[in-house]
Structure 1
Amino acid sequence: MKPKFVTSAAVVVIGAGAFLAGRSSVSNSAKEGTASADEVKPLVTSSRGSGSGSADGSRSSSRTGGKSDSRTAGDSTRPATKEARLAKLENIMRGEDPLARNRALIDYLDQLDPAELKDAVDRFRAMGITQERFGEYSMMLTAWAKADPTGALAYAKENTNGGFATNAILSAWATNDPEAAIAWAKANHTGDEANPYLAGIIRGIAASDPTRATSLMTEMPYGKERGEALNGVLPHILTQGNEATREWIASLQDERLRNGAMEHVADQMAKTDPKGTADWLLANPGDAATRNMDNVLGTWAEKDQAGATAYYQALPAGEARSNALRGIVNTIADNDPQAAIAFMDSHPADVTDRTVQQLVWHTMEDSPELALSQVSKIGDQGAQEGMYRRAIDTWMRNDPAAAKGYLQTHALPPNLRGYVQNKLSK
């Protein structure tokens, strides 16, 4: 009897979001660089075993008591021939309703024998994997991993780059049989560098066994692979609450890993406990605290500007206080640039070049003239010139007539004269 894939495929509809979420959030080594659709190598569809049935899948099915396939996305009828079944997959994937498409795909996968999954994945990939179809791709790989993980991995190694497919398969395998997946990962990796297969396994076991997942992650050397593993563990640690998350991070012996984890969760924790998160960063000075105090205070100011301001004003002079000011100024600038400038100017001792740069970034799209009026406050000449250029380029792109009018009537630093003349001549 062939296995049913409904449960595993349904789970990955939710889990695929985790794979995709990481695709847009790479700013340091502790954050994941997830594979994109570019990982898929060009596929030459094999003609082997193509079948001779009707391409529209209209023949009666031997598995469903002679019911005909109506070719609707949600039809559970199994077409009689291989080619008809692959045609049905194409029909499902052309659907525009993602919910109906996913339901139909789960039903479709449950109709297949394990040996048919390779051909189904081949056909799916031959159609082209778009951003909107990565969830379905993950579902199909997960179904294959449940039936034949080593076969699915061999296929992924031969036909894909980037790690997305391999990680999806290993994650699904580890959910059911972590020891077998770990043994495969160790047997298929050589050398002293990080084992690239462990990240997917760690993602697969993090929910059911976060202790084991943490142990595997801490054994990995610093690098992209460990960042991917951290991305797989942290969502499950966060579900235990802020205090448990802080304790878990404190238990990490590797300073880089600990800082990466702190940086990754600080903004998320600040949404429910901004003061506790800010206090935590202050108590653990380092790269993570430096890079995240502005985000935490900015998140706090979105809901309670008075509370965030009072906290900032109580801080001693120094980097943490300057970073806190920057976060509050950024949040105010999103809604009221003039008020943000007034707030910044009322605390000159805490203003750094980065504070001004961030203010300009937050205002140049909607208030370009106001943004340009602040650039001269940047002390570093190179950074100042670069910010002038960025603000002007943004304005020229959005409203060239207004930008040229400004450049013709406002004096900018002499080192920008050639740049301004070039803009005016276009």
Structure 2
Amino acid sequence: MKPKDLASASLLLLFGVALGIWLDRAWLPAPAKDTSPVAPSGKTGKLPALARPPASRPDSTTSPVSPDPAGPPLNASEFAFAFTAALSERNPDTRFMQLIELAERVLPAEVARVLPLLDQVTRRDHRSGLLGVLIGKWASADPAAALTYAQQLTRGPERLSATVTALGVWAAADNSAALAWAQAQPPGTQRNQAFQAVLGQLAEKDPGAALAELKKAGLTSLTSGLHEAIFQHWAETDPTAAAAKALTELPPGRQRDSVLQLITATWAASDPVAAAAWVRQQPDGKGKRELIQSLSDTLAATDPKAAVELALTLPEGGNRHEALAQIAARWASVDLDAALDWVKQLPAGQARNNALINLSHEWAEANPRAVAEYAASLPGGPTQDTLYSAVANQWATSDPASALKWAQALPGADTRLQAMETALTVWAGTAPEEAAVVVANLPADNAKPALLQNFAARWAEDDPDAALRWTQQLPAAAQPAAYEGLVPQLANNSPAAAAALLGKLPVDSREQVAEHILQVWRESDAAAARAWLVGAPLPEEIRQRLLKP
């Protein structure tokens, strides 16, 4: 995705994330596993010593962990007091979760009074997520008022997402009224998104009617995901009819292929044998190959042997390799030992390499030492690098300093760099100040610029101010690489501050970052963004291109 697309996509995603938190706050621990696979015979390799083995994933028979029950409902004054206290939390993730919990507790009638407080939330993505929860609460009691407010928001992505949220809540309560509102909108993005919200709700009750309304809507463009939502609900009750309707109503192409994959995946949940039989009956071609690949992935979680059998009907090549790799990942999540035994008996080649890469995370969680030893037996390349990185990731969760030291001793420059980046990324998320000292004092070799860039970017996701202070005190020669990671992250919440730092980036990195800054800044202050661009430290031809509307 290009930087200029990131802002809008991130905001739409945060609305979904925040609303998902609102609907379901429970989670499950990972299942326990333990395995000790043996490296292939005849392979040798020097493995840097592990100072101590990373901890294998412990057995757990505990019940699912749940957050504390939500507190009592809040009026506007109570929310404001608690909101101010929550803003003082230094950890950004904890702060966001506290604010989301408060938003969930606001009385719907009080939402209009608390919305102005969101201006105090400096992180744009967090503000957008909170707005989504509050608009949803308001719309549950007064959809017309919530919708009116949403349409008056000045930031484009927030306005669109808030409108869709309010309309979706309205549609769940009174679909006919919400549908009439959507039909009355002028052609354009808002009308398309309105139909997505309304017909998505209608599809849950009557997918056939939703499809008929979609055909009558005359949308200016295909609304992303709407056909998929309709046919998924249809497949839950009558997959045979849903598949037949998709074949007759949708023209051949990417969208029909996507819909059919969704139908067969839904079908497989209730009758995998029938779903597989239907897929096998389809005419040969690209669509069928992708259907087999998709369905084998779905089957792997419940019947991996049937999934393998289906995948092997694909011709030798990329589709088969990808299908087998997907099966490996799914299988490993439910039975790692069996998945490893199967992968190791595959013929040497791309299929086995892809499968090893796809199960590396599960394997490293269960037995990182075994992964490290197996990786040492492999020839250098992407498969070995991925396995080593999986070890670094798992080890760094418990002892990042030792994980980094181990990664520094690995053979091969690319292998070392990838494992070191992985360890530092984990460390930056748990103890960034400690990691920052270590990164700054790493040897000044060819790998250090990349390590500085990636570390600064990761730290800036959580605390851009602290990452900036650290970057500013680095030696002058090290600063450009760190700024290259920091500035794009800083732009997400403070485009003006990011713009002031663009000149500190390497010249060949500035164009892409400048585009991202402009995309974000134009949403809140297009005039200021344009004024900055006129004198921005960019080559003239790039500046002129970006100045065009």
Fold match (TM-score > 0.5): yes
> Out of 339, 342, 346, which is 1:213 matched to?
342
1:401 and 2:523 matched: no
User: Residue deviations 1:160-183, cap 9 Å, x none?
Assistant: 3563543423762796473x7656
Give the corresponding residue for 1:51. Answer: none
Give the corresponding residue for 1:365. Answer: 492
Unpaired segments ≥5 residues, structure 2: 1-26, 28-202, 211-230
Q: Answer with 323-332 or 261-270: which moved more.
A: 261-270
> Out of 365, 372, 382, which is 1:256 matched to?
382
1:318 match: secondary structure: coil
> Out of 473, 482, 489, which is 1:355 matched to?
482
Q: Tell me the amino acid that sits aligned with residue 367 of structure 1.
A: S
Give the corresponding residue for 1:326. Answer: 453
Contact 1:298 1:330 in 2 (8 A): no
Give the corresponding residue for 2:279. Answer: 152
User: Residue deviations 1:82-118, cap 9 Å, x none?
Assistant: xxxxxxx9858699xxxxx999988x68xxxxxxx64
Q: Tell me the amino acid that sits aligned with residue 260 of structure 1.
A: T
> Out of 256, 268, 275, which is 1:141 matched to?
268
Shift of 1:233: 2.3
Query: Which whole-Å CA distance do the structure 2 matches of 1:191 and 1:164 have between them?
Result: 16
Give the corresponding residue for 2:71. Answer: none
Query: Which whole-Å CA distance do the structure 2 matches of 1:170 and 1:424 have between them?
Result: 46
Shift of 1:298: 3.6
Unpaired segments ≥5 residues, structure 1: 1-13, 15-88, 96-100, 110-116
Query: Which whole-Å CA distance do the structure 2 matches of 1:184 and 1:244 have between them?
Result: 30
Percentage of pairs with the same residue: 19
Give the corresponding residue for 1:296. Answer: 423
1:259 match: secondary structure: helix
2:539 match: secondary structure: helix
> Out of 279, 295, 316, which is 2:405 matched to?
279
User: Residue deviations 1:356-413, cap 9 Å, x none?
Assistant: 222111112322232223222234x3333554454345433542122234346xx444
Give the corresponding residue for 1:77. Answer: none
Relative distance call for 1:333 and 1:291 in structure 2 (3 A) is: same
Query: Which whole-Å CA distance do the structure 2 matches of 1:407 and 1:204 have between them?
Result: 48
User: Residue deviations 1:294-329, cap 9 Å, x none?
Assistant: 453243123212321343255333244444433442
Query: Which whole-Å CA distance do the structure 2 matches of 1:136 and 1:413 have between them?
Result: 52
Query: Which whole-Å CA distance do the structure 2 matches of 1:192 and 1:340 have between them?
Result: 42
Query: Which whole-Å CA distance do the structure 2 matches of 1:358 and 1:373 have between them?
Result: 15
Q: Answer with 304-313 or 143-152: which moved more.
A: 143-152
1:348 match: secondary structure: coil
Relative distance call for 1:138 and 1:131 in structure 2 (3 A) is: same
User: Residue deviations 1:233-264, cap 9 Å, x none?
Assistant: 23531441433443443344462211234446
Matches within 5 A, 1:155-174: 155=282, 160=287, 163=290, 165-169=292-296, 172=299
Query: Which whole-Å CA distance do the structure 1 matches of 2:440 and 2:318 have between them?
Result: 49
Query: Which whole-Å CA distance do the structure 2 matches of 1:130 and 1:92 have between them?
Result: 22
Q: How many residues align?
A: 319
- The structure having more radius of gyration, on CA atoms, is 1
Contact 2:204 2:233 in 1 (8 A): no
User: Residue deviations 1:152-204, cap 9 Å, x none?
Assistant: 334385683563543423762796473x7656655653579965553354346
Relative distance call for 1:146 and 1:276 in structure 2 (3 A) is: farther
Matches within 5 A, 1:37-186: 91=205, 118-119=240-241, 121-123=243-245, 137-146=264-273, 149-155=276-282, 160=287, 163=290, 165-169=292-296, 172=299, 176=303, 178=305, 182=308, 185-186=311-312
Contact 1:295 1:327 in 2 (8 A): no
> Out of 325, 332, 346, which is 1:199 matched to?
325
Contact 1:298 1:331 in 2 (8 A): yes
* Higher relative contact order (CA closer than 8 Å, sequence separation 6+): 2
Q: Tell me the amino acid that sits aligned with residue 509 of structure 2.
A: A
1:155 match: secondary structure: coil
Query: Which whole-Å CA distance do the structure 2 matches of 1:220 and 1:349 have between them?
Result: 46
1:160 match: secondary structure: helix
Shift of 1:130: 11
Query: Which whole-Å CA distance do the structure 1 matches of 2:405 and 2:510 have between them?
Result: 33
Query: Which whole-Å CA distance do the structure 2 matches of 1:137 and 1:362 have between them?
Result: 40
Query: Which whole-Å CA distance do the structure 2 matches of 1:297 and 1:368 have between them?
Result: 26
1:415 and 2:539 matched: yes
Relative distance call for 1:378 and 1:243 in structure 2 (3 A) is: same
Give the corresponding residue for 1:246. Answer: 372
Relative distance call for 1:322 and 1:210 in structure 2 (3 A) is: same
1:384 and 2:510 matched: yes
How large is the RMSD of aligned CA atoms in angstroms? 4.8
Query: Which whole-Å CA distance do the structure 2 matches of 1:267 and 1:318 have between them?
Result: 23
Contact 1:375 1:384 in 2 (8 A): yes
TM-score by length of 1: 0.57
Q: Tell me the amino acid that sits aligned with residue 152 of structure 1.
A: V
Give the corresponding residue for 1:315. Answer: 442
Query: Which whole-Å CA distance do the structure 2 matches of 1:390 and 1:173 have between them?
Result: 40
Give the corresponding residue for 1:375. Answer: 502
Query: Which whole-Å CA distance do the structure 1 matches of 2:516 and 2:371 have between them?
Result: 39
2:488 match: secondary structure: helix
User: Residue deviations 1:255-275, cap 9 Å, x none?
Assistant: 221123444675565444433
Q: Tell me the amino acid that sits aligned with residue 356 of structure 1.
A: Y
Query: Which whole-Å CA distance do the structure 2 matches of 1:398 and 1:156 have between them?
Result: 51
Relative distance call for 1:122 and 1:414 in structure 2 (3 A) is: closer
1:344 and 2:467 matched: no
Query: Which whole-Å CA distance do the structure 1 matches of 2:511 and 2:420 have between them?
Result: 27
Q: Tell me the amino acid that sits aligned with residue 487 of structure 2.
A: V
Query: Which whole-Å CA distance do the structure 2 matches of 1:140 and 1:340 have between them?
Result: 49
Relative distance call for 1:299 and 1:148 in structure 2 (3 A) is: closer
